[in-house]
Structure 1
Amino acid sequence: MRRLLTLLTAAGAALVGLAPVASAAPDQYSCDTTGTSYTYVVLYAPGLPRFVADTELKFDCGSLVEYYPEIGVAVATSAAPDFADRLGPNRAYSGRKDVPGATSRSRSQESVAPADDRGAEQWDMDLIKAKQANKVNEGSHRVVVGVLDSGVDATHPEFAKAMDPADSAGCLTGKADPSADAWKPTTSPHGTHVAGTIAAADDGSGITGIAPNVRLAAVKVVSDDGFIFPEAAVCGFMWAAKHHFAVTNSSYFVDPGFYFCRNQPGDSAAYEAVRRAVAYSTGRGVLNVAAAGNEAMDIANPTKDTVRTHPVDRNCATLPAGLPDVVSVSAVGYAGTKSSYSDWGKVDVTAPGGDRAQIPPAGSGPACPLSTLPAGGYGSMCGTSMATPHVVGVVALLASTHPWASPAQLRGLLRSEATPIACPAATPTCTGLAGDNSYYGHGLVNALAAVTR
């Protein structure tokens, strides 16, 4: 699943607050409804009343699914082929409509049977001193961590005390659905694996997460065919804000391409919608953490979208990792050096994501981090997807030990307490000093420092 960042296989947008001019559509009965129905994000002026957005969307052949007045973003459906044109190319965008090629993503994982205690195989926890941190502080139950992913299997024994159903929801349509069926995993083990790294129980069996006493909320933003569209991401961040999560985990990039460009029609609307949702959640006390990506490229200087064909330059960013308010995470393997697949450039910190070229000694576990899988299982996966929950677990410990810290303060603590890593010798793509460079950002996250400093 490429959008889930696991190695397994607008600024300038028009803000409209009034009904459109008559030339946009003669009347609502002129709508062509013979096309395929798609879901769109649509921009409005923040604070605009819901009924105004609803009225315009009907006039332009759409139906309102959800409206977030705090940020002026609507989610709408329409079968009219010219729906986005009616509203304006910088105001509306459908990710599904723009999906290139195949409509699904392959998935795999190395599944292994549970055992009494798999702790010795968690080299990733040793690398960031999580086992030492667990002896000091395992996190506070008042801290809620949002796993924005493919759902979390709440029946897994590791989550018996961690899962918080009341704070969980499905966001695939762009409108939050709190029913249990909406946020449970269906086709992907990805979210369950992420969740285990953060908060698997310290119960003497299976594995132990970085912050086993915190609570987990599952927010399902990944469709059954493996896509994360703008409306789902917006819904996920707004849900996190409403429920006052301390931190969220986004181990994905928003579809349908790796980059969204602020200066391109369509892209600009999606970029702005997600940017507003992230900024709003940050303002409500949420620190959002995201995977940098697995494209083995410099995301601070984009030149090519490896997923979708369109011009790419410095006006483009991956979502959500490329946004200013988001902590971006690169990956290292067992040896503590950048994983071969990991993106670099815009990186705050690094964490274990695994690398099949960096093989641990016998008995130390697989090259890819071991964590939970649905149906009570355990397995290994590699990717910046796996590095990100290590960072989120450390942030959860920081939120536990610094209960009044703002997102900016938590980010500052995360960076200052990281273990600096210097650039490899004779590696021109790694620039900067130890403690602030393009490969590792401020360094490897340190769980022990989060509970002792």
Structure 2
Amino acid sequence: MHRFTRILTRVVAPVGAVALAAAFTTASFSPAAADTAPAASGPAQNYLVLYKSGGSAAGASLAAIAQARGAVVQNYAQIGVAVVSSGASGFAARLQAADPSVDSAAATASFGVSLAGDAATDAADPVSPPTPAPGSDNLSGLQWDMNQIHAPEARSISGGSSSVVVGDIDTGLDFTHPDLAPNVDFSRSVSCLGGVPDQTPSAWMDDNGHGTHTAGTIAAAKNGIGIVGVAPNVKLAGIKAGDAAGFFFPEAVVCAFMWASTHGIQVTNNSYFADPWLFNCKNDPAQRAIWESERRAIRFAQQQGTTVVAALGNFADDLAHPTQDLQSPDNTTPVARDVTNACAVVPTEIPGVIGVTADGNKQFKSFYSNYGVGAANVMAPGGDSVLQRTAAAVNGRVLSTWPASRIGSCLRKVFDSGATYCYIQGTSMASPHVAGVAALVVSSGVTSPGAVAAQIMGTADPIACPDTAMYAFFPSVDNGAPQVCQGGTAYNSFSGNGQVNALRAIGG
């Protein structure tokens, strides 16, 4: 299904199976005309407004927004970004003509929402000592992925600290699931759909399944049933930025990182790419507004002490050498377009983000996983149902928690003690393993995002480039290029610094 190309779970179709639509054009707009022509009205939609240094949606800028027939939905003055709703045609060009402090503005293809107050700042609690979480639960024997990164051995030393909170920026999480409920932090969970924080529990309940799956890998409780997460003693904040269809629009992504940075969340997991563009090109004004707004939000979160972990994606693309994008804009009809290194996948290619590729039980890169020198930092189990089925990984996929309300959407389901679980694969499944290890590292007292990243990368198990002949039938989905691994055992484009090792990361 199309949504799985966005939330980075299953592999997409080969290049030959991707349908291409005719190219579309954007009508030109004259700023001078904007001052004189009446603005036509249409359905309200959200815009990301990016201000130049020191600017924000206040004072004269607020008046300019009103003059251009817009209304502020949310103002993030800390990073010079505002979410603005308008139904006026040509709103972005009108605003830029009226306000010289505006760098750029771009529609986010979402809907307008009501204005809400700024989120309160909540400082992180001091990290309390971690506690062990030894032993296994009923389905632990199916967790080949945990064994592969030495999570059970690490848990016998540290299951994490209950004062550490991981924000799972995803489609929400099922806070009623028996394996998640003990660890859910309601005070830090939120929906960011539409760009406005909403802490009503029903607003951030998972209506997709993806977020519940990633949350279980991070911190499913050690409670005797089901599975055990990498860090079963840490807390989970469900930060819903993806809707039921799996779209992660820019205003929701910006809101999610601003929420994490102002609510004491030490680690975030990001198993998606920010819609509607797979590659956001900084040399395109509209895409630059999206890219720069998200970059500022992520950088602000990192400056506040939040370690950011992200999946690389499932298109078998070399992110260091992009040439074509067949996925965008994914909220309408994708159109083939040329891309260069001026274009980047958000959030995984934002500086300082820990980028994660996927492997299977034979410990080489999964056939679908993106890769690339500079983009790949570490590798973690994401599953591989084609090349890496084994006795331990009989279907090649990763097992984790799943909402009972969405069990019909799971093709490979498992039940235990009334709780529901699902097998799926993707770099989405790899990233939360690393986020869980990051939580263990923070629990050990290493809190700076840069130091956490260095600890994870410096203790990973090096993996040499495999024989790439096995990927002959799996070229890049976007440009048809063969998969080529560059580098040596210490670092290469497939595994980065190696496969994450939870035990070594905590000094075990």
The residue correspondences of 1:110-259 to structure 2 (distance < 5 A) are 117-186=138-207, 188-259=208-279
For the residue of structure 2 that corresponds to 1:331, the secondary structure is strand
The C-alpha deviation readout for 1:211-260, integer Å capped at 9, x for no partner, is 00000000000022221111110000000100121110010001112100
1:416 counterpart = 2:454: no
2:386 is matched with 357
For the residue of structure 2 that corresponds to 1:433, the secondary structure is coil
The letter for the 2-side match of 1:42 is: V
The letter for the 2-side match of 1:385 is: S
- C-alpha distance in 2, partners of 1:368/1:172? 30
2:6 is matched with 3
1:321 counterpart = 2:355: no
For the residue of structure 1 that corresponds to 2:156, the secondary structure is helix
The C-alpha deviation readout for 1:247-304, integer Å capped at 9, x for no partner, is 1001000111210011112011101000000000000000111110101010111111
For the residue of structure 2 that corresponds to 1:270, the secondary structure is helix
- C-alpha distance in 2, partners of 1:318/1:75? 21
Aligned residues: 421
Choose 424-433 or 269-278, whichever is displaced more: 424-433
1:41 is matched with 48
- C-alpha distance in 1, partners of 2:392/2:362? 15
The C-alpha deviation readout for 1:12-33, integer Å capped at 9, x for no partner, is xxxxxxxxxx957548x93321
- C-alpha distance in 2, partners of 1:290/1:426? 24
For the residue of structure 2 that corresponds to 1:76, the secondary structure is strand
* Aligned-residue offset at 1:49: 5.0
* Aligned-residue offset at 1:44: 1.3
Q: Which runs of 4+ in 1 moved over 6 A?
A: none
Asked if the contact 2:51–2:103 (Cα under 8 Å) also holds between the matched residues in 1, the reply is no
* Distance 1:226-1:160 versus aligned 2 partners, 3 A rule: closer
1:389 counterpart = 2:392: no
Asked if the contact 1:120–1:365 (Cα under 8 Å) also holds between the matched residues in 2, the reply is no
* Distance 1:413-1:116 versus aligned 2 partners, 3 A rule: closer
- C-alpha distance in 2, partners of 1:8/1:364? 18
* Distance 1:133-1:24 versus aligned 2 partners, 3 A rule: farther
* Distance 1:353-1:364 versus aligned 2 partners, 3 A rule: closer
For the residue of structure 1 that corresponds to 2:285, the secondary structure is coil
**Structure 2 length normalisation: TM-score?**
0.79
- C-alpha distance in 2, partners of 1:49/1:422? 48
1:368 is matched with 397
- C-alpha distance in 2, partners of 1:194/1:385? 7
For the residue of structure 2 that corresponds to 1:136, the secondary structure is coil
Choose 174-183 or 88-97, whichever is displaced more: 88-97
* Distance 1:358-1:122 versus aligned 2 partners, 3 A rule: farther
1:58 counterpart = 2:76: no
- C-alpha distance in 1, partners of 2:390/2:11? 22
- C-alpha distance in 1, partners of 2:468/2:177? 46
1:15 is matched with none
1:14 is matched with none
The C-alpha deviation readout for 1:29-52, integer Å capped at 9, x for no partner, is 93321x232111101135435423
2:485 is matched with 430
* Distance 1:136-1:65 versus aligned 2 partners, 3 A rule: same
1:262 is matched with 282
1:94 is matched with 107
Asked if the contact 2:137–2:228 (Cα under 8 Å) also holds between the matched residues in 1, the reply is no
* Aligned-residue offset at 1:159: 1.5
The letter for the 1-side match of 2:44 is: S
* Aligned-residue offset at 1:433: 1.3
Asked if the contact 2:167–2:265 (Cα under 8 Å) also holds between the matched residues in 1, the reply is yes
2:77 aligned residue (69, 83, 86): 69
- C-alpha distance in 2, partners of 1:126/1:409? 25
For the residue of structure 1 that corresponds to 2:183, the secondary structure is coil
**Structure 1 length normalisation: TM-score?**
0.89
The letter for the 2-side match of 1:196 is: G
| Uncovered stretches (5+) of structure 2, i.e. residues with no partner | 13-30, 97-101, 112-135, 329-334, 405-418, 470-482
The letter for the 1-side match of 2:176 is: T
For the residue of structure 2 that corresponds to 1:181, the secondary structure is helix
The letter for the 2-side match of 1:357 is: V
| Uncovered stretches (5+) of structure 1, i.e. residues with no partner | 10-21, 99-114
- C-alpha distance in 2, partners of 1:446/1:316? 31
1:30 is matched with 38
- C-alpha distance in 1, partners of 2:286/2:365? 34
1:445 counterpart = 2:448: no
1:341 aligned residue (341, 349, 368): 368
Asked if the contact 1:46–1:69 (Cα under 8 Å) also holds between the matched residues in 2, the reply is no
For the residue of structure 2 that corresponds to 1:350, the secondary structure is strand
For the residue of structure 1 that corresponds to 2:88, the secondary structure is coil
% identity of equivalent residues = 42
The letter for the 2-side match of 1:212 is: P
